[in-house]
Structure 1
Amino acid sequence: HGPGFDVWVGGGLSTNPKLGVRLGTWVSLDEVPDVYEGVISIFRDYGYRRLRNRARLKFLVADWGAEKFRQVLEDEYLKRKLTDGPAPAEPAGRWRDHVGVHRQNDGNFYVGFAPRVGRVDGPTLTKIAELAEAHGSGRVRTTAEQKMIVLDVVESQVESLVAALEALDLRVTPSPFRRGTMACTGIEFCKLAIVETKGRGSALIDELERRLPDFDEPLTININGCPNACARIQVADIGLKGQLVLDDEGNRVEGYQVHLGGALGLEAGFGRKVRGLKVTSAELPDYVERVLTRYRAEREDGERFATWAARASEEALS
């Protein structure tokens, strides 16, 4: 049928997480606006918008199921049947992000880089803009993984741009820990947060790079300051939900509930919670180092962290 999209609806995280479900249909580029309008119109007309705790499409989809949702979409809103389509093929590559140097379809290159847990100050943003204008077309993009991309770089300018970004501590070839760690705003700027996130994540990256310098497996560590999951803790390899916990002396201190082995994509699933597994902020580097060391010792050839975490003993994850 040419280029198009597989349609998924009803995903959402926060305190009641649900994975999106496939409608089993393929839509062409021209059909996207109609299908988009139809889906949000179903939420407008049938969604639980008067119920504050259920005013999300995910609750309607969970009650209806994919088959009924597609039928209502076709019969009441599109007035036509959608094309049946298979699930997309699994993507190639170990990392599913935009970090590094990659060729664009037009022959130019884009350069993706990793700030520390998504934090970039104003002066640094200005320097990034100047680099994008000097080396490319001035186009810059942000990603859903708290990374940034400079677009439209000619091949002769790539090396210069990479060197300039690295000089600003914006890594084009980051460690797995810099590449895969993200954090929400945290207590510094968010009234809902309970704990610090950005500073904690940055310090964790430094510690893990020092302690595990040869670790080279894809890994995501998502840090959230409260249960609302802006940093998507349930679908990270290691998800950390901020809360106050008791230390060894019985004091209430900043800490995290741990979720292990979550993932997005075609093997999506929510992270596993081990009963009573919480770590204080001070213990966090020790805990992550311990779990990753067990993973490397017990994994099978080519086994992802999420797959290992699903089968590992509670003792190995504690």
Structure 2
Amino acid sequence: MTLAPARTERALRGPREGRSNGQWAVDGHEPLNGNEVFKAEGPPLEVRERIETIYAKEGFDAIPSEDLRGRFRWWGLYTQRKPGIDGGRTASLEPEELEDKYFMLRVRTDGQALDTRALRVLGDISSEFARGSADISDRQNIQYHWIRIEDVPEIWRRLESVGLETTTACGDSPRGFLGSPVAGIAADEIIDPTPVILEIKRRFIGDPDLANLPRKFKTAVTGHPSLDVVHEINDISLVGVVHPDLGPGYDLWVGGGLSTAPRLAERIGVFVSEDEAAEVWHSVIKIFRDYGYRRLRNKARLKFLLADWGVERFRQVLEDEYLGHGLPDGPAPEVPAVPGDHVGVHAQKDGRFYVGAAPTVGRVGGSTLAGLADLMDRVGAGRVRFTAFQKLVILDVPADGVDDLVAGLQGLGLTATPSPFRRATMACTGIEFCKLAIVDTKDTATEVIRDLEQRLADVQLDRPIALNLNGCPNSCARIQTADIGLKGQVITVDGEQVAGYQVHLGGGLAGEGREEAGLGRTVRGLKVPATELADYVERLTRRFVAAREPDESFAQWAHRADEEALS
């Protein structure tokens, strides 16, 4: 790429004028921290060969640190937390003290529709290699635990036999894509995003030129009016719209992300045709690669570059330096009329049906996946997709098989008619396996759901109240965009340190039923012990129901209520 002239170079430099921010297109390629050094010294994608030929044969102790805690991530592998280490020690121990000799393995699905053969492969991997573990993440991934390095090559072989992979599922790379779970089959779909996702994957996933980004890069593509891919919190999103002159295509959003510095994505204001979508995606990720900040890891996401440049400058660089031509202005997506989790029974455009079902906080496991495959074969359903809400959607269900499918799901621990709290509660991995976590999430959330189903059986909610639990500040479970977001931390109660949560209230995204996306508020000093979560949510829910205005959402009420009502 030809660099911009000096005048533009100064304009494109980061906020610390005169000091290198590690922007390749401005400052050159000199590594400015340890992460940049190990990526420069050895291409991360090349570690796969060492895994297959050395580590899988010689075992865990043969793995050097820069591969184990660095390059392995590019193939979806993180060491998991050693059992028995309490959350109060998370920040004080070194990685080698926290980690076990087992791995979390992340499998990307990229919105792919999985047939029953693929489901059985996922289930068999869980049962044979992962002690029965398998979670649907809020990125449509499957995550396993208890994986041994010796088994990784065989797991890869099985995944690839059904078109699945772990390539760049983690690391400073293009992570797994979010795609509409009802792509190609929904009666009200604007445009089918499947061709765009497949083209981007075919051309660019595994490309060494995109395997050294400043940090991770998250993608979402949907053509459904429910906006079912949480497009406001991705680095890039392509959202289906209809241009008045050019027909169906995509609206481009850039620069979203949560973690400890949450920021919602912004519309760039351009219309992207289906034919040009892959090239626009490639141009945006190259802007991030070339101009993203690399000096400080906590400033290395695309959202910080967009915040400094602004939308106008970003569009100019995209069009002038990378695409080489302008893009037409385009319309914004309309406000969704229905939630984007797709739970329940819905008609397809071909006369068949799709059925959205809820596990409990994404937990499925080998027996559940295998049982689902058997059930789908029995009723004649062809495929299943995962969702951005830790749910799954069974596609192509014949009309005469819907009732049998819905009934059979119950026996698998899944349900197409979940309670409001089972439907709208998500949880990250938590302290059970995650080295960054401070508190438990999955089991805690499961207990809270069970308690609330009993305690609030008399309360009628016209829409679920989203309850998101996160084990640390990094917001893998999107706490700032939940009605009730809970950030795990150690808190002090009566002089004793216990597991607890800081509370965020009133967040939400368009696909989650809000008219406008927004971040939640925090209430000064409000922290809830884990053992009192059900008490707190019940109290808050009853106050909301009693005090709400007609048609007022929980998020609207939470932003106007005084702190006493929210305590």
Superposition TM-score, scaled by structure 1 size:
0.97
**DSSP 3-state at the match of 1:243:** strand
**DSSP 3-state at the match of 1:279:** strand
1:219-244 deviation per Cα after TM superposition (whole angstroms, max 9, x unaligned) = 11100000010000000000000000
Distance in 2 of aligned mates of 1:168 and 1:195:
28
Aligned amino acid, residue 38 of structure 1? S
Distance in 1 of aligned mates of 2:407 and 2:381:
18
Matched, 1:181 2:425: yes
Question: How do 1:1-318 residues align onto structure 2 when only pairs under 5 Å count?
Answer: 1-93=246-338, 95-213=339-457, 214-216=459-461, 217-247=463-493, 249-265=494-510, 267-318=516-567
Larger radius of gyration: 2
Aligned amino acid, residue 234 of structure 1? Q
Count how many residue pairs are aligned between Structure 1 and Structure 2. 316
Q: Using CA pairs under 8 Å that are at least 6 residues apart, name the structure with larger relative contact order, 1 or 2.
A: 2
1:122 positional shift: 1.1
**DSSP 3-state at the match of 1:244:** strand
- Whether contact under 8 Å (2:427, 2:468) holds in the other structure is yes
1:104-163 deviation per Cα after TM superposition (whole angstroms, max 9, x unaligned) = 222211111001111112111110111122223441111110001111111111110000
Distance in 2 of aligned mates of 1:139 and 1:207:
33
Distance in 2 of aligned mates of 1:273 and 1:54:
23
- Whether contact under 8 Å (1:222, 1:239) holds in the other structure is yes
Aligned amino acid, residue 232 of structure 1? R
User: More deviation in 251-260 or 159-168?
Assistant: 159-168
**DSSP 3-state at the match of 1:195:** coil
- Whether contact under 8 Å (1:132, 1:151) holds in the other structure is no
The alpha-carbon distance between structure 1 residues 77 and 136, as it changes in their structure 2 partners (threshold 3 A), is farther
Distance in 1 of aligned mates of 2:380 and 2:254:
37
Distance in 1 of aligned mates of 2:351 and 2:248:
21
Aligned amino acid, residue 555 of structure 2? A
1:218 positional shift: 2.3
Q: Give the gaps of 5 or more residues in structure 2.
A: 1-245
**DSSP 3-state at the match of 2:405:** helix
User: More deviation in 165-174 or 184-193?
Assistant: 165-174
- Whether contact under 8 Å (1:129, 1:140) holds in the other structure is no
User: More deviation in 125-134 or 297-306?
Assistant: 125-134
- Whether contact under 8 Å (1:136, 1:150) holds in the other structure is no
Aligned amino acid, residue 307 of structure 1? Q
Distance in 2 of aligned mates of 1:208 and 1:272:
23
**DSSP 3-state at the match of 1:277:** strand
Superposition TM-score, scaled by structure 2 size:
0.55
Percent sequence identity over aligned pairs = 64
The Cα RMSD (Å) is 1.1
**DSSP 3-state at the match of 1:73:** helix
Q: Give the gaps of 5 or more residues in structure 1.
A: none
Distance in 2 of aligned mates of 1:264 and 1:128:
30
Distance in 2 of aligned mates of 1:39 and 1:308:
37
1:287 positional shift: 0.6
Runs of 4+ in structure 1 over 6 Å off: none
**DSSP 3-state at the match of 2:253:** strand
**DSSP 3-state at the match of 2:544:** helix
Distance in 1 of aligned mates of 2:482 and 2:397:
32
User: More deviation in 1-10 or 212-221?
Assistant: 212-221
Residue 37 of structure 2: aligned partner: none
- Whether contact under 8 Å (2:372, 2:412) holds in the other structure is no
- Whether contact under 8 Å (2:491, 2:529) holds in the other structure is yes
